[in-house]
Amino acid sequence: MSHSPSLPDRPRLELDPEMSEAERLEAIRQHYRRIVHVNDELEDRLEDAQGRRGDLKSDVDELKRENEVLKTSSLYIASVEEITDEGVVIKQHGNNQEVLTQAATRLDADLRPGDRVAINDSFAIQQTLDDETDSRAQAMEVTESPDVEYADIGGIDEQIREVREAVEDPLENPEQFEAVGVEPPSGVLLHGPPGTGKTMLAKAVANESDATFIKMAGSELVRKFIGEGSRLVRDLFELAAEREPAVIFIDEIDAVASKRTDSKTSGDAEVQRTMMQLLSEMDGFDERGEIRIIAATNRFDMLDEAILRPGRFDRLIEVPEPDVEGRERILEIHSQEMNVADDVDVSEIAADLEGYSGADIASIATEAGMFAIRDDRTEVVQEDFERAREKLQDVEGTDEQVIHYQY
Ligand SMILES: Nc1ncnc2c1ncn2[C@@H]1O[C@H](COP(=O)(O)OP(=O)(O)OP(=O)(O)O)[C@@H](O)[C@H]1O
């Protein structure tokens, strides 16, 4: 479709005082014809645009319908074997069943033998899937050396000490554990409210023990297609073995390891399978060498006890909301690069931030800097921090809500 974006020029009437009556009349006539012409052209374009709008709307409706279907049914993975006149031959992963089926109309032209597709309960192809590597990339984040240090984390010194003991020491001095004859803890579980530094802590310990940091988000795992969650868990441990020394960090572990629910939907069964895979990887952990595993959750109460048994996540570390000294330290950390006025009283600000997490305090520091910039100052003053706190409070609702996280 070629639609020129520019509109036709607006015709101009140019009358010269020297012109005779007849010439003026002719000029006005010509002008009138030009206006009519431009008007016709604009009407054509309007009609065209309305037509396109209709087309786009039906595309949107179609996509909405397909989206609804996708949301309501569970999907399975299959590969396209052959495209025939009667339909598409697919082979379902897992049971290797071959089926002749159909694809949603918009997929017809694009399907090729070898493609990975998602099919529904009645084998109809719902969508083509990205490369496997893409789904891995979405669920896993690999960093050779994360740029977080222990010194960047405020208010949880005791937790840092415990994590170092459980993760860093066994990575750096495995002989010592062997000599003494103790097994280092298998897995460390960090639990506590959101934004208290759990991810930072996992990154810092990977960095300071020169280990590759491999993060997997539990919530991503459960969004995957049937069969993919457990495969991703397997891949995760394989990748860690290739990159050792490595720290595996599973964020939001509650997404895959919640207490069993009574419902027997296929989604739940899939989550169970992913968790079983995780447990079996952890059970075979002894021979794995220099790999340590850390998980984090904001919902400790929801966890299935199976993952807390000895040999699994057997070192529990609570990461609480910071106390007043912790808040002061976090404020100092996050404002150390900022040009803060000498008379700013960090302890007074920290005292006012009861119930705020490290993440809240980090955004208060940034926001305080923004207030200074808005006022065209180069120095951040006490009042900027107060305004920043009020702003964050407005965003998050009342003070109450800031204090009572769901935990
Ligand atoms: N103790 C802390 N010291 C310094 N900064 C912190 C601390 N806690 C949180 N922050 C700031 O908040 C951001 C988010 O923290 P982090 O991702 O580690 O929290 P989390 O506990 O893993 O949260 P969630 O449970 O929501 O994943 C950090 O990047 C950092 O800027």
Residue 403 is predicted with a pLDDT of 42
Single-letter amino acid code for the residue at 127: Q
What's the pLDDT at 66? 77
Cβ of residue 231 lying under 6 Å from some atom of ligand 1: no
**Ligand 1 pocket, mutate which of 153, 190, 198, 200 (most atoms under 8 A from CB):** 200
Q: How far apart are CA 36 and CA 31, in angstroms?
A: 9
Give the position, in ligand 1's atom list, of the atom nearest the Cα of 298.
25
> In the prediction, which pLDDT does 387 show?
92
pLDDT of 229 reads 80
Taking the CA of residue 251 as reference, the ligand 1 atom at the shortest distance is 27
Q: What is the pLDDT of residue 176?
A: 85
Q: How far apart are CA 26 and CA 164, in angstroms?
A: 93
Give the pLDDT score at 404.
38
* Residue with CA at minimum distance from ligand 1 atom 30: 359
**Separation of 256 CA from ligand 1 center, angstroms?**
22
User: SS3 for 249?
Assistant: strand
Q: What is the mean pLDDT of each run of 10 residues along the chain (407 residues)?
A: 66 86 91 93 93 93 80 74 86 80 74 82 80 65 88 94 91 85 87 95 94 89 72 86 90 84 58 86 71 93 87 92 94 92 91 92 93 92 92 64 40
Centre of ligand 1 to C-alpha 200, Å, is 6
Ligand 1 pocket, residue 298 CB under 6 Å = yes
* Residue 133 marked in a binding site: no
Instruction: Report the distance separating Cα 8 and Cα 153, nearest Å.
Output: 62
Q: What is the ipTM, given to two decimal places? A: 0.97
Distance 338 CA to ligand 1 centre (A): 19
Q: At a CB cut-off of 8 Å and minimum separation 6, what does 283 contact?
A: 311, 312
Decide: 196 in ligand 1 pocket, CB within 6 A: yes
